[in-house]
A and B are shown apart, each in its own frame.
Chain A
Amino acid sequence: GENVEQHPSTLSVQEGDSAVIKCTYSDSASNYFPWYKQELGKRPQLIIDIRSNVGEKKDQRIAVTLNKTAKHFSLHITETQPEDSAVYFCAASYQKVTFGTGTKLQVIP
């Protein structure tokens, strides 16, 4: 089955700096790669996603890149703000959705 690895598990950045979270997947058939943000005590919510026919997607301060050959995808957050502090999960989807183990991002004011 699919295996998704996510790094780092924790990440601290100064407000205004950039944050990068990386994921690798094992099943070359996976074709949909969403990123979810989960604030403390809340449900996960989609922040950005990318499909296998696209290499990069950007939405304001958030971008995702996908390298199908290397089977890895990354989340980039620029100009980080305290409200970006949360746990971020990547996922890879083919017949089932497999989540990464999460990255706890702390943005220090």
Chain B
Amino acid sequence: NAGVTQTPKFRILKIGQSMTLQCAQDMNHNYMYWYRQDPGMGLKLIYYSVGAGITDKGEVPNGYNVSRSTTEDFPLRLELAAPSQTSVYFCASSLLTSGGIYNEQFFGPGTRLTVL
């Protein structure tokens, strides 16, 4: 299993440009998440999904959009990039089993994004 994969690894954007960060998992996990991590800081939840077709906002959703058309893929869209979106973006997935039993999150390798 590849686990959680993310592309690209690095990207530089100009202010106002748009891009999509790709995330895929091959573990058949129902839950998927997008986090951003600013230098020296913790993980902030942007969006999450509990299954295909269902997404919900985290604590910092402004400036981002997501979709979940399949179990495997959870792309994050940045519209009109701003310098404040310079960060490392981590995608993660986990399996919530019946009865509401959480399990560990598996993280992708991250995408380092710089907006100039």
A100 surroundings in chain B (CB, below 8 A): 42
On whether A43 and B102 interact (CB within 8 A), knowing A96-B45, A97-B33, A99-B43, the answer reads: no
Q: Which of B23-66 contact A (CB under 8 A)?
A: 33, 41-43, 45, 48, 58
B103 surroundings in chain A (CB, below 8 A): 32
Kindly state whether residue B107 has any CB partner on chain A within 8 Å.
yes
Q: Which of A53-106 contact B (CB under 8 A)?
A: 89, 93, 96-102
B42 surroundings in chain A (CB, below 8 A): 89, 99-102
Bound: A31/B103 CA distance, A: 11
Contact between A43 and B90, CB atoms less than 8 A apart: yes
Bound: A102/B38 CA distance, A: 12
Kindly state whether residue A20 has any CB partner on chain B within 8 Å.
no
Which of B101, B102, B110 is close to A97, meaning CB atoms less than 8 Å apart?
B102
B58 surroundings in chain A (CB, below 8 A): 96
- Measured CB to CB, the closest approach of chain B to A57, in angstroms, equals 13
Size band of the B side of the interface?
10 to 19
- Chain B CB within 10 A, most for which of A32, A36, A45, A101: A32
Q: Which of A7-62 contact B (CB under 8 A)?
A: 31-32, 34, 36, 43-46, 49
A45 surroundings in chain B (CB, below 8 A): 107
Q: How many residues of A contact B (CB 8 A)?
A: 18
Tell me the number of A-to-B contacts counted with CB atoms below 8 Å: 40
Bound: A34/B33 CA distance, A: 16
Chain A interface residues (CB < 8 Å from chain B)? 31-32, 34, 36, 43-46, 49, 89, 93, 96-102
14 pairs, CB–CB < 8 Å, chain A vs chain B: A31-B100, A32-B101, A34-B105, A36-B105, A43-B90, A43-B109, A44-B90, A46-B104, A89-B43, A96-B48, A97-B94, A97-B105, A99-B43, A102-B41
Shortest Cβ-Cβ A-B pairs, 7 listed:
A32-B102, A43-B107, A46-B104, A93-B102, A101-B42, A102-B42, A99-B43
